[in-house]
Structure 1
Amino acid sequence: MAVSSAVALAPLTVRNRRPVGVMVAGGLLALVVLAAVFAPLLAPYAPDAIDLSASLVGTSGDHLLGTDSSGQDLLSRALYGTRTSLIAPILLLAVAAVLGVTLGVLAAWRGGWVDALVSRLTDVMYAFPGLLFTVLIIAVFGAGMTTSVLALGLAFTPTIAKYVRSLALSESRKPYVDAYRVQGMGGARICVAHLVPNLGRAILGYLVVLFGEALMSLATLSYLGFGAQPPSSDWGLMVQEGQAAVVQGALLPALVPGTAIALVVVSFNVVGVWAADRLGRQ
């Protein structure tokens, strides 16, 4: 009997463990967050400190990851760049979440012509590639990280709106919604106080999955010259600035920030899929 019980519990124990890949990715993200918080203490140099005598120096005791064409320490710039690379996607997704959740819940709750109007609006926005839509907005309002965040927030809104609408349609048919209606509670109050909070876990999991894509999109805009501007230490801008050094045989100025972007995006995708699965089951 004891042996049978142990065998029966074994799969459950294994199933409840976090996969090794998720733990590794989570550990890496934790280190990135710590680097962003303690960048002033960890960075050996100021991120904008220029030393032309140390231009394109390779790895050494003074510069662990080398320098760029201006002699700026790559480790220091990469550490400070974690701040922009983490905060900007969070702000982007916050803008998209507010607009997307509002539109999605409104379409599901009201239905009829409101649902049709929101659906057509999101379809029109889907007709333009997200990056092209963002570049058009930046062309009108000017380049910069603030404009990039707001423009990409609008570009991400249709994706979140359609996802939230599908969730809200199912949630709005549950008995507790009718119970609140019978009690005389208004639709806006039901949605804000009960419907949206009940969707919170699923929405949060979906936003975590989108974080990596948001980071990559912002880095792409910075690389193209539409996002962060010099002397920022944004990773996408660092890749663009280090591209010319590749021709001279210096790979580190582009490789260091490029590797950082790739590792963080992959880590967020791994953790995001796992978190979305767990939050969706609870």
Structure 2
Amino acid sequence: MTVLTAGRTRPLKPLRLPAERPLGVLVAGGFLVLVVLAAALAPLLAPYEPDAIDLAASLVGTGREHLLGTDASGQDLLSRALYGARTSLVAPLLLLALAALLGVTLGTLAAWRGGWVDTLVSRVTDVMYAFPGLLFVVLIIAVFGAGMTTSVLALALAYTPTIAKYTRSVALAERAKPYIDAYRVQGMGGARICARHLVPNLGRSVVGYLVVLFGEALMSLATLSYLGFGAQPPSSDWGLMVQEGQAAVVQGAMLPALVPGTAIAAVVVAFNIVGVWAADRLGSRR
């Protein structure tokens, strides 16, 4: 559409509307901000030390002294949940960072080189897909021992083929664009094109995909801690808190398992909502 001005035509600039943020995304994002702030300020917000034991206050319900009650050892659940948020949020972040480093490297290499390199990477990822993720992680933990560090490394390897396949599919579409051939004509080497142009252009899509995976990674680590393979006592990890509070359910005390379980579910749902929205927005702007 054009407008006639003083005998000449001038193109109209398209009207740019502000990005819409649904109410659910705003609520989920605000909740995640509060969780992150609570984890960062845990030493200031927690009324008690997370490992402070008071057997006289065992399985106490909600009240002025213990807002969310206590567990079987008399430990304040609010304090443990606040400190546990640190491990429960940082561990999935490290997990995905390592998995992204390996997966993006393999996916980009397969898409750029093609041929036997692409075939080899595809076969390796297919072999890793043949094993159930949890079984693969348990096998690694059985060899190197239980613990949060081993769980993070094992899950990072388990998530690598997923990220590699996604990166490969996006990189193949990006490599077919004209600017890649333009840089080649200028004499720029393949490694330089990938590092300075191809991989940065994949950033939006990969970051959006990683945000979606964050909730799944958090749930996977909590599952390993619940099974006894991840965080070990006296850690305040949410998955471990659920496992430790399971025995109290038989005695009619639901809070020791309900508080960390609700925290896990709420954070995972919030990350899924924000992650899907972010992936759509980032993908549409590529």
TM-score bin, normalised by smaller chain = over 0.9
In 1, the alpha carbon distance for the partners of 2:222 and 2:189 equals: 43
> How far has the Cα of 1:176 moved from its partner?
1.0
1:45 is matched with 48
In 1, the alpha carbon distance for the partners of 2:119 and 2:35 equals: 43
Structure of greater Rg: 2
Deviations 1:216-247 (CA, angstroms, capped at 9, x unpaired): 00000000000000000000000000000000
In 1, the alpha carbon distance for the partners of 2:148 and 2:19 equals: 41
The answer to whether 1:247 aligns with 2:246 is no
The answer to whether 1:74 aligns with 2:77 is yes
* Amino acid paired to 2:181: D
1:8 is matched with none
Deviations 1:142-198 (CA, angstroms, capped at 9, x unpaired): 000000000000000010000000000011111111111112211111111110000
- Select which of 171, 186, 192 maps to 1:189: 192
In 2, the alpha carbon distance for the partners of 1:70 and 1:23 equals: 38
1:224 is matched with 227
1:174 is matched with 177
Percent identity, please: 83
* Amino acid paired to 1:238: M
- Select which of 110, 134, 139 maps to 2:137: 134
> How far has the Cα of 1:16 moved from its partner?
3.6
In 1, the alpha carbon distance for the partners of 2:53 and 2:183 equals: 64
The answer to whether 1:19 aligns with 2:27 is no
* Amino acid paired to 2:89: L
In 2, the alpha carbon distance for the partners of 1:117 and 1:17 equals: 43
2:3 is matched with none
RMSD over equivalenced CA pairs, Å? 1.2
2:263 is matched with 260
Deviations 1:2-47 (CA, angstroms, capped at 9, x unpaired): xxxxxxxxxx999843111111101110110001110000000000
In 2, the alpha carbon distance for the partners of 1:53 and 1:113 equals: 67
Number of residue-to-residue matches in the alignment: 271
Q: Is the helix fraction higher in 1 or 2?
A: 1
In 1, the alpha carbon distance for the partners of 2:66 and 2:142 equals: 38
* Amino acid paired to 1:257: P
In 2, the alpha carbon distance for the partners of 1:264 and 1:126 equals: 27
Q: Could you say what secondary structure the match of 1:64 adopts? A: coil
Match runs of 1:59-98 below 5 Å = 59-98=62-101
Q: Could you say what secondary structure the match of 1:204 adopts? A: helix
Structure 1, unpaired ranges of 5+:
1-11
Flag the 1:250–1:207 CA change in 2: closer, same or farther, 3 A: same
The answer to whether 1:105 aligns with 2:108 is yes
In 2, the alpha carbon distance for the partners of 1:86 and 1:64 equals: 23
* Amino acid paired to 1:112: G
Deviations 1:110-141 (CA, angstroms, capped at 9, x unpaired): 11111010000000000111111011000000
Match runs of 1:30-41 below 5 Å = 30-41=33-44
In 2, the alpha carbon distance for the partners of 1:17 and 1:142 equals: 47
In 2, the alpha carbon distance for the partners of 1:121 and 1:51 equals: 52
* Amino acid paired to 1:222: S
Q: Could you say what secondary structure the match of 1:197 adopts? A: helix
1:213 is matched with 216
Q: Could you say what secondary structure the match of 2:125 adopts? A: helix
The answer to whether 1:56 aligns with 2:59 is yes
The answer to whether 1:143 aligns with 2:140 is no
1:236 is matched with 239
* Structure 1 segments of 4+ aligned residues over 4 angstroms from their partners: 12-15
2:281 is matched with 278
In 2, the alpha carbon distance for the partners of 1:172 and 1:40 equals: 49
In 1, the alpha carbon distance for the partners of 2:85 and 2:99 equals: 22
The answer to whether 1:117 aligns with 2:120 is yes
